[in-house]
Amino acid sequence: MMKDVMKKNDQRNPNAATKIVVSVPNVLLNEIRAQIGRREFARFVATSLARELIDRSRAALVAKLEATHGPVDAELVRRLEVAFAR
């Protein structure tokens, strides 16, 4: 029953936030807070998680394409890394 309620809530508002608890090294936490402030921390974490999912999806796509078509030319990879560097 509870799963059904949660599923319905997720369908109505897919952007609803869920509070989670994670452990972060103090040095990393202090550096992030120093740069972005306490009030923006949740947004920073959400954006970072979304970016990580995108990066993993891209890596999986590249692996699939390489398995099908062979490795990507190293010089092309280098040029693309320069062009899309963050």
Task: Give the least confident one: 8-17, 19-28, 47-56.
Answer: 8-17
Residue 46 lies in a domain: yes
Give the structural domain span for 44.
Answer: 22-83
Per the prediction, the chain carries an average pLDDT of 86
Residue 15 lies in a domain: no
Rg (CA), the chain: 19
Residue 1 lies in a domain: no
Please give the tally of structural domains in the chain. 1
pLDDT cut 90: percent of the chain above it: 65
> Sorting pLDDT into bands at 50, 70 and 90, what band is 27?
very high
Residue 11 lies in a domain: no
Residue 69 lies in a domain: yes
DSSP assignment string, 59-76: HHHHHHHHHHH-PPPHHH
Beta carbons of 72 and 66 less than 8 angstroms apart: yes
* Calpha distance 82→76 (Å, rounded): 10
* Calpha distance 47→32 (Å, rounded): 13
Position 1 scores a pLDDT of 45
Provide the whole-model pTM.
Answer: 0.66
Position 38 scores a pLDDT of 81
